[in-house]
């Protein structure tokens, strides 16, 4: 009997983590009920999630004719087997992502008082400039796009911790959604705004006539990794001169420079 009581502390933590996983997955299923015809899946088994100290849960859906994925990521400071004496501390993120044909990299994160961001874009609209730090590899393209009334309308329907157009996806991240009472309504409103935002992004790309200046060739504009033509296969756009990894060009299906029709 004494041995059993000694085992209780060691058994309680895995049990807590298991129930914690189930609670998170139940939360995701609850807020995604509108997309119940979608597919729910765990990329990694619950046991492996507990042992690794992190995991994710995916929901696939479709809205306004566009496919999207909701990924709920959660983790602990350490893998379970390393942290028997630590208080469980889940880190949670919910990401919604829509595939897009990428024509420039864009990142927006909330403005914080103690930050002094470098190379920040100012678009001249206080409601955006005062609340977000904006970066892009094509400053004029990003500014022109974000100052359009349609893009602004959909942005103001969202409250996010990170928005990025990166590696062929429009991605929006919400940190600790359950703790912030992120509900089914919030998810559906966000999905609707993002689907429309993605549609407008691709529509503007098709309407743009002038080709903006290509980047300097040191960083791939698609994956944001360094370019080394001597060590890896690269492609140079014949129309505007933009240089990408060959694999990135293939993945995106075309040039990443705003206004380039190649």
Sheet with 40-41, edge to edge strand ranges? 40-41, 54-63, 66-75, 91-99, 169-175, 162-166, 106-110, 132-136
Q: Is the pLDDT assigned to residue 214 strictly greater than 60?
A: no
Whether 62 contacts 34, CB under 8 Å: no
pLDDT digits (tens, 9 = 90+) for 126-167: 888 888 999 988 888 888 899 999 999 999 899 899 999 999
Residue 247, number of CB atoms within 10 A of its CB: 15
For domain 211-262, the CATH class is: alpha beta
Q: What does the pLDDT read at residue 49?
A: 72
State pLDDT tens for residues 54-110: 778 888 888 989 999 999 888 765 555 454 445 555 678 999 999 999 988 999 998
Separation between Cα atoms, residue 116 and residue 136, nearest integer Å? 17
pLDDT digits (tens, 9 = 90+) for 20-40: 667 777 777 788 877 655 566
* Triad 194, 196, 201: Cα angle to 5°: 90
The structural domains of the chain, with segments of one domain joined by +, span 2-207, 211-262
Record the pTM.
0.79
Tell me the sheet residues that pair with 69.
60, 97
Query: CB of 261 within 8 A of CB of 239?
Result: yes
């Amino acid at each position: 009997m004494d041995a059993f009581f000694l085992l209780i502390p060691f058994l309680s933590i895995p049990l807590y983590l298991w129930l914690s996983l189930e609670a998170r997955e139940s939360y995701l299923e609850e807020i995604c009920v509108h997309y119940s015809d979608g597919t729910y899946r765990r990329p990694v088994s619950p046991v492996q999630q507990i042992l690794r100290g992190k995991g994710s849960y995916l929901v696939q859906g479709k809205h306004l004719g566009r496919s999207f994925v909701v990924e709920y990521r959660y983790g602990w400071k350490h893998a379970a087997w390393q942290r028997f004496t630590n208080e469980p501390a889940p880190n949670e993120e919910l990401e919604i992502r829509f595939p897009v044909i990428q024509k420039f990299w864009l990142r927006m994160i909330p403005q914080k008082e103690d930050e002094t961001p470098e190379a920040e874009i100012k678009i001249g609209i206080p409601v955006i400039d005062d609340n977000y730090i904006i970066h892009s590899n094509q400053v004029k393209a990003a500014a022109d796009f974000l100052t359009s009334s349609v893009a602004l309308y959909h942005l103001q329907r969202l409250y996010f911790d990170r928005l990025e157009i990166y590696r062929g996806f429009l991605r929006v991240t919400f940190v600790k959604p359950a703790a912030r009472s992120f509900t089914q309504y919030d998810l559906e409103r966000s999905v609707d705004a993002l689907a429309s935002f993605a549609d407008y992004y691709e529509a503007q790309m098709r309407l743009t006539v002038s080709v903006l200046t290509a980047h300097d060739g040191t960083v791939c504009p698609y994956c944001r990794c360094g370019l080394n033509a001597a060590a890896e296969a690269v492609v140079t756009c014949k129309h505007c001169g933009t240089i990408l990894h060959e694999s990135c060009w293939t993945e995106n299906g075309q040039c990443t420079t705003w206004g380039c029709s190649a």
